Chains A and B, each alone.
Chain A
Amino acid sequence: DIQMTQSPSTLSASVGDRVTITCRASQSFSNWLAWYQQKPGKAPKLLIYKASSLESGVPSRFSGSGSGTEFTLTISSLQPDDFATYYCQQYNSYPHTFGQGTKLEIK
């Protein structure tokens, strides 16, 4: 199995800040990585696929990059609606695996 490790586990930031979340994989792969946003009591929502492709309807302040073993999700200017937990997911191989999550909190 490919293990996905996110950092940090918790991130405190303010509205307007630029934030970056990192996802590291235990094995190298191309760009078969997705990012999701999850709010309390809700299902995850797809933000980014293929490492850097923005899902339709997702604001352009979200962006993704990376390949190999290191991937990043960047939010260019935090909005109040962005405070949530974020997960990365690899789909290079089965079983699909997720990072442990990064909780983005209001500072």
Chain B
Amino acid sequence: QVQLQESGPGLVKPSETLSLTCTVSGGSISSYYWSWIRQPPGKGLEWIGYGHYSGSTNYNPSLKSRVTLSVDTSKKQFSLKLGSVTAADTAVYYCAMYRNGYYEGWGQGTLVTVSS
């Protein structure tokens, strides 16, 4: 069974870049599409985008100018970079996997707080 584990700083300063990594174990990173989905405290779920081992990506237009997603097959990792962060980017960030559009597996999530 595929397992996902997010990692990265829990605190980021305003205007800086948020960087997170999702490590994949128990399965092939080339078998799925990999997404980041975030959830502000007490709120709903927002899709950030997807990456694929082929290099293809797709971003939410609301974040597109600030987001970069990448897949490193050698490390079995999927990464998120979100630039110019503000307090509105404070959220639990989940990595998730899919093949047919619905999310079959999720990481446990990591809380990122944007504050000086």
A46 lies within 8 A of chain B by Cβ: yes
Measured CB to CB, the nearest residue on chain B to A35 is B102
Chain A residues whose C-beta falls within 8 Å of the C-beta of B109 in the assembled complex: 43
Residue in contact with B102 in the complex, picked from A91, A95, A99, A100, CB distance below 8 Å: A91
Q: Count the B residues whose beta carbon is within 8 Å of the partner chain — how many?
A: 23
Are A36 and B61 within 8 A (Cβ)?
A: no
Q: Is the interface of B mostly helix, strand, loop or mixed?
A: loop
Chain B residues whose C-beta falls within 8 Å of the C-beta of A100 in the assembled complex: 44
Given A43-B94, A43-B108: A36 and B103 interface contact (C-beta under 8 Å):
yes
Q: Is the interface of A mostly helix, strand, loop or mixed?
A: loop
B100 lies within 8 A of chain A by Cβ: yes
Residues from 8 to 61 in B contacting A, C-beta threshold 8 Å: 35, 44-47, 49, 58-61
Residue in contact with A49 in the complex, picked from B61, B96, B100, CB distance below 8 Å: B100
B106 lies within 8 A of chain A by Cβ: yes
Q: What is the minimal beta-carbon distance from A87 to any residue of chain B, in angstroms?
A: 6
Measured in the bound complex, the distance between the Cα atoms of B108 and A46 in whole Å is: 14
A61 lies within 8 A of chain B by Cβ: no
Q: What is the minimal beta-carbon distance from A84 to any residue of chain B, in angstroms?
A: 14
Measured in the bound complex, the distance between the Cα atoms of B62 and A42 in whole Å is: 25
Spell out B's residues near A (CB within 8 Å): 35, 44-47, 49, 58-62, 94, 96, 98, 100-104, 106-109
